[in-house]
Amino acid sequence: MLGLAQSALAAEKSSVTTTASKAEYTPAKDLKQKYDVIIVGAGGAGMSAALAAKQKGLKPVILEKMPTAGGNTLKASSGMNASETKVEKANGVKDSNQQFYEETLKGGHYKNDKALLHYMVNHSASAIDWLDSMGMKLDKLTISGGMSVKRTHRPHDGSAVGQYLATGLLRNVQEKKIPLIVNADVTKITEKGNKVSGVKVVLNQDKTKTVKAKAVIVTTGGFGASKAMIKKYRPDLAKYVTTNAAGSTGDGIKMIRKLGGYTVDMKQIQIHPTVYQKPAYLIGEATRGEGGILVNKAGDRFTNELDTRDKVSAAINSQSGKMAYVVFDAGVKARSAAIDQYEKKGFTKKATTIAALAEKINVPAAELQKTLTTWNQDVTAKKDGQFGRTTGMEHQLNQGPYYAIPIAPGIHYTMGGVKVNTKTQVLKKSGKAISGLYAAGEVIGGLHGYNRIGGNSVADIIIFGRQAGNQAAAYVK
């Protein structure tokens, strides 16, 4: 964005540590005047759309306003939800699309767009296979809040899913010679004769170019990093930190509105319960899904840690200091590679005994010891006597060293966005599609209802990104 603070850009540059940041991008001078389809935004949805369009024989281009590809996808850590997959079958997990659908609907307070949700659920297993076909193997399973079975698919090496997918998608984009131009800020989607005709793009905050295309796919993400939009729709959240990439400023929503597209659920902004506050950094659900617990300043558990995000956030906000600690052991760390990252960044407190850990985080040692003893007994009994937790209870917390990360809620995701149908066509209020215009990922609204389940955003970007590429190809041809 031209108005984006240079410091935010610099911070974004330095925070992206994947191979994405070292990637060779297409030079701006090689941008042609015409393509079959233009994809605006190089996150997971955008790169998925480009790859699907290319597989259908189109000539796509990806334009990304930030200095690196990846967007908010780079921030995803837990996994990708999918049902009836070969991975579940191999792991003996009994699951069904219907169960996935019903649990997501319940998690979204029954406000989800049912057609979009059915599409996502029914195409989730084939999306896992599609990623697999391009060398991205999500063959480990964990569980996220609001789900009853292990359907959160994670990378084979246990690493954070977002960086793994962003790197894998980028590798495929480059292998298939799809041009991807960074520092390319799309400021307008153009129209001719009631059809989308291309975009206006500012290259390197300098030259403005008009690029033509028969179709445009908008995958610009949400608006979780726009203080102005957060303040407009949810003034009560204005002071919260955000986990969002600096580029998530709602540009796509604004451009689509100018073409007559309309938005839904704009007030539905998700607070993630476990965010390290300074710097704002997401502590993923997998830390709890693999057995971690939450304790308050008194050293006590106070909620079912794997309830839905809105409920866990509310529980943390009702504790002293509106904060808590994620407490886990060496076993959890071994099962969730993302924790290595938290350690490297200096977020974790570590000690050989529970008493020593209590001293480091300034909670009563006897109380923390009692909490862990009770928890471990509940794990053995497979029954959480205090809060009725039923998932992420396969392992006791009894392997030193022990760890704690201080957390509090932060802005994580915007459920609201532009209205699309299951073909990812952008709709006007009348229900009529805007010819040649498609959207996928966090820029769309309605899919997640009033609360998103962890692991569903990654499913969303891959499934609907792929669908947008396929549908744009059908339209162009």
C-beta separation of 336 from 140 below 8 A: no
Angle at 27 between CA 22 and CA 33, to 5 degrees: 145
Give the model confidence (pLDDT) of 198-234 as tens digits: 999 999 999 999 999 999 999 999 999 999 999 999 9
pLDDT value at residue 23: 65
C-beta separation of 161 from 155 below 8 A: yes
Cα distance between residue 1 and residue 470, in whole Å: 28
Query: How far is the CA of 334 from the CAs of 286, 341, 391, 465, in angstroms?
Result: 12, 13, 18, 32
- Torsion sign over Cα 223, 225, 226, 232: positive
C-beta separation of 309 from 456 below 8 A: no
Neighbour tally for 126: CB within 10 Å: 14
Question: Is 309 an active-site residue?
Answer: yes
**What share of residues in the chain are helix, strand, coil (percent, to 5)?**
40, 20, 40
- Give me the mean pLDDT over the 255-277 stretch: 97
Give the model confidence (pLDDT) of 110-128 as tens digits: 999 999 999 999 999 999 9
Of the residues 309, 389, 452, 466, which is catalytic?
Answer: 309
Cα distance between residue 421 and residue 433, in whole Å: 8
pLDDT class for 24, splitting at 50, 70, 90? confident
With pLDDT > 90 as the criterion, what percentage of the chain qualifies?
Answer: 91
| Rounded-to-10 torsion of CA 439, 282, 265, 263 | -30
Task: Quote the longest CA-to-CA distance of the chain.
Answer: 73
Closest CA to 392 of 312, 299, 322, 278: 312
pLDDT class for 248, splitting at 50, 70, 90? very high
Cα distance between residue 276 and residue 391, in whole Å: 24
Both tokens assigned to 156: 């084979």
Q: Tell me which H or E stretch contains 164.
A: helix 161-175
Give the model confidence (pLDDT) of 178-197 as tens digits: 999 999 999 999 999 999 99
- Under the phi-then-psi rule, with left for phi > 0, alpha for psi from -120 to 50, and beta for the rest, what region is 269? beta
pLDDT value at residue 10: 39
Cα distance between residue 34 and residue 168, in whole Å: 27
- Give me the mean pLDDT over the 310-328 stretch: 97
Query: How far is the CA of 169 from the CAs of 6, 74, 462, in angstroms?
Result: 27, 12, 10
Query: How far is the CA of 160 from the CAs of 164, 228, 231, in angstroms?
Result: 6, 30, 31
Above 60 in pLDDT, residue 18?
Answer: no
